[in-house]
């Protein structure tokens, strides 16, 4: 899919005459010479200064930080304008189904439905009534239980186990809502899952807004977990049931999150950190430590705090 | 479906000889001249005084509040007796499937199954392995992703997006349990969803006990949310993942609820109120303010409280 | 399925020459004269002393507690070694489907898929796109709504109602992770559900690691609940939506758990205990009382504590 920059600009209501070709919408960091990007948060200022995008949607006051030669699309509402642009690149849902390319020794129930261009490796089992959308790829030895849905463009590694009711690649939750019109930011990224990953029943993993949501090899996810768009879950991480990861949470290697714990978005949790059940993480946390409480703090502090709270009613 | 009042009375163990025709069970408020209703909570006393029901199940002491001419079915257990009555009007599940009435330019995967009398508008896409029960109606331009279940009598507006694994119209959780026998209150209402509503993966929206659960136009729901029976979600509301709304919660226009927040039942949240992630709402809240904590209070108070809690262990 | 003990020992890297036949892996308590068991937690010491297993995997220091004649398989990592053994007895997923044995007057939609040896009783309704795995049994009068998945070996009682999106019998979350390699403990138990049980939309019930996860008769479960492996839910219990029960939680008769409440694993809650919404149970609780808070305490104490917390910011 590609458009002239001027066409996109016209659709989103910004004045721009350049006929340069745009074939992707990207973050500032991932952009290339055919990407349109946007700048809406000062925390991305370094990315702005180094972007390889051909054009950037941004407020006038930040134009001075653009690298030489990058075209500025100026607006007071860069997030909303980018949201409008995503509509042009958005997936068009269809009910058509196709045959998949299926490896040796793989079993597929005849009730399974495929989008266009699906590739399944060897020695896989795809059970009843599951659906794999356009361009989904599944590597060797992966088991998909019944009633699983894998949206278009998702990539699943080898020897994974995907339990029933799992939804991979549904839209992340993105709305440009400043003016209360809830303009949808179409989710044009995907989900990439490594090898030996297990995903529990009815867990949902949202596709990235732009780029990829990543579940790295050997991570194990329990049931009814929400993984927001653009999250990254490190190798060997263990996520217990009903955990909620807000968008763009990054977990390091071997992180353990107890049941019903959760994170606010756009933060990082270091390697081998452990979160007690029901912890609520509100800022980035160093690795190698155990945390608890909401907001999550060193678990020793949380335990002392709980003891102090319990003592409150004895003092009176 | 209709019954003589005397037949219903006999089935539920109340003495009544009237042969008047009853064709619906209703709340006191929604009742008409062919409805049987019930009164079990003093907070509905005004509704009792003004009901248009032809007959009401209630305790003897409240008979004096009945409008002239309304028949009293007297019992000590009105909720349980009404629960027994709902069984007569309950949906009878069936595995039979039918052809739907499908609008122009709508795509339906051949693996989709329909109950009787389903109507789909124009320009819709209904993807693999979804199910739409008896009398479901879907308006123009709505997208239904794979593995969605929409129970009988649900009405879905135009240009909605329903993600995979969503369940709309399953039974609300109602049991007349006073005597520990967990008598089911059959859920004979429905779900009505407005236009431009988006519902995230694996979210569940229960049908109303009596009447309708309402998701109004332009509301956006994320993944793994529970919407209890008889809830009302106002226009442009934004509900983040893993939120739980107990039965009969009413959200105004443009309410924002953060991830994992929840409400107790039978309360109202005013227009444009915002609830921080994990808030637990225990009573009705005014609109236009930001709340946090459990029980949810003004967010400034909650932040001060959190700071005070953190200081507890420094004092010692 | 059966193996010589020496074969199993070789596969898991323990030295043992006995050619005795092993046809099951069991807990110490449930073991019989053809079972291999394991001992990894001191809390099971009494079970060790009385086990009927033919052989037990355990650390050297506990060999002295073994009953006479029981064979010891000695290792420093009994949990991990047992996990390796479970792979031999694990279910091998397949996409093949079969005809079921179906009772009189039962309706099954033609889109429903069955594993081998499935038996359905009389007067049941099995709706569209559901899946019932190998050896599943469903007793008379049970209703299964669309898009339900019931894994192999699950047993469902009579007159149950299973709502859409429910997953019964998926793998419990078990990994022998001491050395960060996340070795899967294959879940070779099952799920057994009594009569008159209702299970709400998108709820997940994990199969037992060894033995059975039990949902007893007349229990009612709401939507989006997680029931961990080896849990036991007592008769007439009421579990509200989004509750999380960690592995091996035992609820007595008539227990009520409010929405979003949760339990840590391996604990018991006595008959007719009530847990307020969002309670977090961290240790066993007596029956007949009402609890609230996290950690859950007598609700009067919790209320006083909440009041004391609210007063903290008034003192200053």
Q: Are C204 and C166 in contact (CB under 8 A)?
A: yes
d(CA A278, CA A285): 16
C-alpha separations of B83 from B77, B184, B227, C180, C275 in Å: 10, 6, 21, 53, 25
**Which site among B142, B165, B201 would you substitute to test the A interface, given the most A Cβ atoms closer than 10 Å to its Cβ?**
B201
Q: Is there a contact between A95 and B238 if contact means CB atoms under 8 Å apart?
A: no
Residues from chain C that touch B180, judged by Cβ atoms under 8 A, are 236, 254
pLDDT of C172 reads 85
Any domain includes A307 = no
Active site residues of B: 229
Q: Is there a contact between B308 and C306 if contact means CB atoms under 8 Å apart?
A: no
Q: Token pair for residue A50? A: 């180094």
pLDDT of B172 reads 86
User: Binning pLDDT at 50, 70 and 90, where does residue C161 land?
Assistant: very high
Q: Do β-strands A101-102 and A119-120 pair in parallel, antiparallel, or remain unpaired?
A: parallel
pTM: 0.96
Residue A301 CB-density burial (10 A; 0-12 exposed, 13-18 middle, 19+ buried): middle
Residues from chain B that touch C200, judged by Cβ atoms under 8 A, are 170-171, 173, 204
Minimal CA separation from A48 to chain C, in Å: 38
Q: Is there a contact between B312 and A305 if contact means CB atoms under 8 Å apart?
A: yes
| Predicted confidence (pLDDT) per residue in B71-129, tens digit | 999 999 999 999 999 999 999 999 999 999 999 999 999 999 999 999 999 999 999 99
Task: Report cis status (omega within 30 of 0) of the bond before B295.
Answer: yes
**Which site among A97, A98, A149, A257 would you substitute to test the B interface, given the most B Cβ atoms closer than 10 Å to its Cβ?**
A149
At what angle are helices A299-315 and C299-315 packed, to 10 degrees? 90
Helix (H) or strand (E) holding C46: helix C45-50
Residue C315 has pLDDT above 60, yes or no: no
Determine which one of A40, A163, A229, A266 is catalytic.
A229
∠ CA A73-A77-A79 to the nearest 5 degrees? 90
Active site residues of C: 229
Residue with tokens 């507890």: B312
d(CA A249, CA B297): 27
Q: Are B209 and B230 in contact (CB under 8 A)?
A: yes
pLDDT of C1 reads 85
Residue B248 CB-density burial (10 A; 0-12 exposed, 13-18 middle, 19+ buried): buried
Q: Any idea which of A53-62, A122-131, B40-49, B172-181 has the lowest mean pLDDT?
A: B172-181
Q: Is there a contact between A129 and C113 if contact means CB atoms under 8 Å apart?
A: yes
d(CA B257, CA C157): 39
Minimal CA separation from B195 to chain A, in Å: 13
Q: What percent of chain A has pLDDT over 70?
A: 98
Q: Are B111 and B132 in contact (CB under 8 A)?
A: no
| Predicted confidence (pLDDT) per residue in A135-171, tens digit | 999 999 999 999 999 999 999 999 999 999 999 999 9
Same domain, B192 and B272: yes
In this complex, the residue of C107, C147, C236 whose CB is nearest that of residue B96 is C107
d(CA A22, CA A78): 17
Q: Is there a contact between B111 and C126 if contact means CB atoms under 8 Å apart?
A: no
Residue A316 has pLDDT above 70, yes or no: no
Per-chain mean pLDDT for chain B: 95
Minimal CA separation from B310 to chain A, in Å: 7
Any domain includes A147 = yes
Within chain C, how many helices (H) and strands (E) appear? 4, 37
Same domain, A130 and A275: yes
Q: What percent of chain C has pLDDT over 70?
A: 98
Q: How many residues belong to chain B?
A: 316
Q: Is there a contact between C198 and B180 if contact means CB atoms under 8 Å apart?
A: no
Mean pLDDT of B52-67: 97
pLDDT of C177 reads 65
Same domain, A148 and A283: yes
DSSP track, C220-256: EE-SS-EE-TT-EE-TT-EE-TT-EE-TT-EE-TT-E
In this complex, the residue of B108, B163, B196 whose CB is nearest that of residue A170 is B163
Same domain, A72 and A120: no
Closest Cα partner for C171 from A235, A233, A199, A256? A199
Q: Which residue of B has its CA nearest to C111?
A: B111
Domain boundary among B32, B54, B89: B89
Any domain includes A312 = no
Any domain includes C230 = yes
Q: Token pair for residue B169? A: 């119209």
Q: Which residue of A has its CA nearest to B294?
A: A294
Same domain, C126 and C196: yes
Closest Cα partner for C300 from C292, C308, C312? C292
pLDDT of B176 reads 78
Q: Which three-class secondary structure state does DSSP give residue A290?
A: strand
pLDDT of C55 reads 97
pLDDT of A174 reads 85
Q: Which residue of A has its CA nearest to B276?
A: A264
Any domain includes B52 = yes
In this complex, the residue of C161, C218, C313 whose CB is nearest that of residue B308 is C313
Q: Token pair for residue A300? A: 């020793």
Q: Is there a contact between C223 and B206 if contact means CB atoms under 8 Å apart?
A: yes
Residue C100 has pLDDT above 80, yes or no: yes
| Predicted confidence (pLDDT) per residue in B251-271, tens digit | 999 999 999 999 999 999 999
Same domain, B85 and B125: no
| Predicted confidence (pLDDT) per residue in B279-297, tens digit | 999 999 999 999 999 999 9
Q: Which three-class secondary structure state does DSSP give residue A176?
A: strand
Mean pLDDT of C9-20: 95
Minimal CA separation from C287 to chain A, in Å: 22
Residues from chain A that touch B145, judged by Cβ atoms under 8 A, are 93, 149, 151, 170
Same domain, A111 and A198: yes
Residues from chain B that touch A266, judged by Cβ atoms under 8 A, are none
Against chain B, the chains showing at least 3 CB pairs within 8 Å are A, C
- The CATH number linked to A77 is 3.40.1390.10
Q: Which residue of A has its CA nearest to C180?
A: A236
> What count of other Cβ atoms lies within 10 Å of the Cβ of residue C115?
24
| Predicted confidence (pLDDT) per residue in A212-246, tens digit | 999 999 999 999 999 999 999 999 999 999 999 99
Residues from chain A that touch C177, judged by Cβ atoms under 8 A, are 238
Same domain, C85 and C117: no
In this complex, the residue of C127, C145, C241 whose CB is nearest that of residue B244 is C241
Against chain A, the chains showing at least 3 CB pairs within 8 Å are B, C
Residue C179 has pLDDT above 90, yes or no: no
Task: Report cis status (omega within 30 of 0) of the bond before C282.
Answer: no
pLDDT of B235 reads 96
Residues from chain B that touch A182, judged by Cβ atoms under 8 A, are 196, 218, 220, 236, 238
Mean pLDDT of B238-262: 97
Minimal CA separation from B32 to chain C, in Å: 31
- A-C C-beta contacts closer than 8 Å: 137
Domain boundary among A39, A65, A89: A89
Any domain includes B94 = no
Q: How many CA atoms lie within 13 A of C185 on its CB side?
A: 22
Same domain, A22 and A129: no
Q: Is there a contact between B165 and A202 if contact means CB atoms under 8 Å apart?
A: yes
Domain count, chain B: 2
* Phi, psi at C197, each rounded to 5°: -90, 140
Domain region containing B66: 3-89
Same domain, A126 and A58: no
Same domain, B219 and B72: no
- A-B C-beta contacts closer than 8 Å: 140
Q: Is the dihedral of CA B254, B258, B264, B265 positive or negative?
A: positive
Q: Which stretches within A55-206 are classed as H helix?
A: 78-89
Contact residues for A195 (Cβ-Cβ < 8 A; gap 6+) = A139, A157, A158, A159, A160, A217, A218
Residue B74 CB-density burial (10 A; 0-12 exposed, 13-18 middle, 19+ buried): middle
Q: Token pair for residue A187? A: 């989710």
| Predicted confidence (pLDDT) per residue in A256-312, tens digit | 999 999 999 999 999 999 999 999 999 999 999 999 999 999 999 999 999 999 999
Minimal CA separation from C294 to chain B, in Å: 11
In this complex, the residue of C242, C280, C309 whose CB is nearest that of residue A309 is C309
d(CA B120, CA A95): 14
Checking ipTM against 0.90, whether it exceeds it is: yes
Q: What is the DSSP letter of B60?
A: G
Same domain, B10 and B122: no
Q: Are A43 and A49 in contact (CB under 8 A)?
A: no
- The CATH number linked to B121 is 2.160.10.10
d(CA A25, CA A41): 17
DSSP track, C148-208: -EE-TT-EE-TT-EE-TT-EEEEPP--EE-TTSS-EE-----EEEE-SS-EE-TT-EEEPP
Per-chain mean pLDDT for chain A: 95
DSSP track, A221-260: E-SS-EE-TT-EE-TT-EE-TT-EE-TT-EE-TT-EE-TT
Q: Is the dihedral of CA C13, C17, C23, C24 positive or negative?
A: negative
Minimal CA separation from B300 to chain A, in Å: 16
In this complex, the residue of B147, B236, B306 whose CB is nearest that of residue A149 is B147
Q: Are C119 and C137 in contact (CB under 8 A)?
A: yes
pLDDT of A177 reads 65
Residue with tokens 């991990």: C80
Any domain includes A218 = yes
Per-chain mean pLDDT for chain C: 95
Residue with tokens 């018991």: C268
In this complex, the residue of B167, B177, B264 whose CB is nearest that of residue C165 is B167
Contacts of B239-243 with C-beta under 8 Å, sequence gap 24+, read B240/A173, B240/B277, B241/A173, B241/A204, B241/A226, B241/A228, B241/A244, B241/B200, B242/A226, B242/A242, B242/A244, B242/A262, B242/C242
Any domain includes A227 = yes
Residue C216 has pLDDT above 90, yes or no: yes
């Amino acid at each position: 899919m590609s458009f002239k920059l001027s066409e996109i600009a016209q659709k989103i209501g910004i004045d721009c005459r350049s006929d340069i070709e745009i074939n992707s919408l990207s973050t500032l960091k991932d952009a290339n010479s055919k990407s349109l990007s946007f700048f809406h948060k000062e925390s991305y200022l370094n990315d702005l200064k180094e972007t390889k995008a051909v054009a950037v949607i941004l407020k006038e006051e930040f134009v001075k930080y653009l690298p030489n030669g990058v075209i500025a699309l100026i607006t007071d509402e860069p997030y909303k304008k980018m949201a409008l642009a995503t509509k042009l690149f958005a997936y068009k849902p269809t009910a058509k189904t196709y045959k998949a390319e299926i490896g040796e020794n793989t079993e597929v129930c005849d009730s399974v439905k495929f989008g266009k261009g699906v590739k399944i490796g060897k020695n896989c089992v795809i059970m009843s009534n599951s659906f794999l959308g356009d361009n989904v790829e599944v590597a060797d030895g992966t088991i998909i239980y019944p009633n699983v849905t894998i949206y278009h463009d998702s990539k699943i590694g080898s020897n994974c186990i995907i339990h029933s009711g799992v939804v991979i690649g549904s839209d992340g939750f993105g709305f440009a809502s400043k003016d209360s019109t809830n303009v949808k930011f179409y989710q044009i990224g995907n989900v990439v899952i490594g090898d030996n990953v297990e995903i529990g029943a009815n867990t949902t993993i949202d596709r990235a807004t732009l780029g990829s949501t990543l579940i790295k090899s050997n991570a194990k996810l329990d049931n009814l977990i929400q993984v927001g768009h653009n999250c990254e879950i490190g190798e060997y991480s263990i996520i217990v049931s009903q955990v909620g990861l807000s968008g763009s949470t990054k977990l390091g290697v071997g992180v353990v999150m107890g049941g019903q714990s959760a994170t606010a978005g756009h933060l990082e949790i270091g390697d081998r950190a452990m979160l007690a059940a029901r912890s609520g993480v509100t800022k980035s946390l160093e690795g190698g430590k155990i945390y608890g409480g909401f907001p999550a703090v060193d678990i020793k502090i949380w335990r002392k705090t709980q003891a102090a709270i319990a003592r409150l009613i004895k003092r009176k």
